[in-house]
Amino acid sequence: MSRGGNQGEFGATESRCRSARAVHGRCGPGGRRFRADRVAGGQRPVERGRRHPRARAGGDASRWLPAQQRRPRPLPRFRTIGVIVSSLSTFGNSRTLDAIAAAVVDQDFSIVLMTVPRSTQGEVTGAFSRLGEQAVDGVIILIEQHQLDRNEIELPRGLPVVVIDSSARHPSPVIDTDQAEGAASATRHLLELGHSTVWHIAGPPQSYAAERRLKSWQAVLEAAGRPVPPVLVGDWSAASGYAHGQRLAADPSVTAVFAANDQMALGLIRALHEAGRDVPGQVSVVGFDDMAEAAHFWPPLTTVRQSFDDVGRHAVAALVGEITNDRREPAAVRIPTELVIRSSTAPPPK
């Protein structure tokens, strides 16, 4: 899920995790556990504690506590949920993690965070192993890279897992925004305004969210019998949107652009302004995410709103259902999006 731009609410500070109460442990690449109710204030993590005496170490993801290996647990033993995340620097991941932490508080659980920046086989498997040492009841995985669905990623046996922003073919419950419908609504909006086609600044190719948005944009253009321009690949950052915007600004035939997230749209708009291309008088721009600042762009940004709060809430509910054998969430949940029309889109110039 964009999971979106480079400057999220957490930024590079990994100590702003949320937890239901003061607990001891480790999170981050080495694992520290934090208070969930301190995220909003950005307070420091609680004191590092000792390793759980019944935890087992090792690099094998199947090495979990003996009780976890013998049989499913009808009730949570530790009231602790692990979260494995690829990055805290993107807007989407930080907002989703914040929503997960808020939902964890409501369930009276604690949270342990593990970061795996490269999402390789070794990193993901190692993160599971380290979470086993922390004595968790289940794990939420927030990794947008394609590596998660490859066979070499070994999921733990006997431990409930819920995945955010992954393939619906994944064996664990999957929660995600309806990326395809969001991108389709953005593209249709621009075509309905009268634009002959829509250019697209996509997210990174290893991202499921970026891939779904790109395919949906392309499908809408093809269904409408419109030409499909070359895809411009960004990295969720405003800088990449700006770089592609300089190229698009130099092409007078470009009248409409759908950026795969709001931050790339921000960079694009700046490049258009600098080149003397009026937005929306000469070029219309649509983003994706509806970050809080989108309403204060110049002009205010038309964008696709996705509910990170709903994603986090459904993910925690699904995992608690797996932990307690009280499953109320379907295997795959798609959270609806909403097109928010502001001032950055208009009919093409005559």
Q: Measure the CA–CA gap between 312 and 105, rounded to whole angstroms.
A: 12
Q: Cα dist. 289→32, 262, 270, 296 in Å?
A: 29, 6, 18, 14
Q: Which amino acid is located at 295 in the chain?
A: A
CATH 3.40.50.2300 boundaries in the chain: 80-178+308-336, 179-306
Q: Per-residue confidence of the chain (350 residues) as pLDDT tens digits? A: 455 544 443 333 333 343 333 333 344 444 444 444 333 334 444 344 333 333 333 333 333 344 344 344 456 789 999 999 988 888 888 999 999 999 999 999 999 998 887 767 777 778 877 887 778 999 999 887 655 554 456 666 778 989 997 665 667 888 999 999 999 999 999 999 999 999 999 999 988 899 999 999 999 999 999 999 999 999 999 999 999 999 999 999 999 999 999 999 999 999 999 999 999 999 999 999 999 999 999 999 999 999 999 999 999 999 999 898 866 666 789 999 999 999 999 999 98
So what's the pLDDT on residue 204? 93
What CATH number is given for 80-178+308-336 in this structure?
A: 3.40.50.2300
Q: Measure the CA–CA gap between 304 and 290, rounded to whole angstroms.
A: 6
Answer yes or no: are the C-beta atoms of 83 and 100 closer than 8 Å.
yes
Answer yes or no: are the C-beta atoms of 319 and 213 closer than 8 Å.
no
pLDDT tens by residue, 290-339: 999 999 999 999 999 999 999 999 999 999 998 988 666 667 899 999 99
- Mean pLDDT of the chain, nearest integer: 80
Buried b or exposed e, range 307-329, using 16+ CB within 10 angstroms = bbbbbbbbbbbbbbbbbbeeeeb
Tokens 């652009």 correspond to what residue?
A: 257
Give 230's contacts (C-beta < 8 A, 6+ positions apart).
none
Buried b or exposed e, range 197-231, using 16+ CB within 10 angstroms = bbbbbbbbeebbbbbbbbebbbebbeeeeeeebee
Helix (H, G, I), strand (E, B) or coil at 66: helix
CA atoms within 13 A on the CB side of 22: 7
Q: Is the pTM of this model over 0.85?
A: no
Answer yes or no: are the C-beta atoms of 218 and 198 closer than 8 Å.
no
Q: Cα dist. 230→36, 254, 333 in Å?
A: 44, 12, 32
What CATH number is given for 179-306 in this structure?
A: 3.40.50.2300
Q: Cα dist. 154→40, 125, 138 in Å?
A: 34, 6, 15
Tokens for 64?
């979990």
Q: Residue 1, Cβ neighbours under 10 Å: how many?
A: 26
pLDDT tens by residue, 68-84: 443 444 567 899 999 99
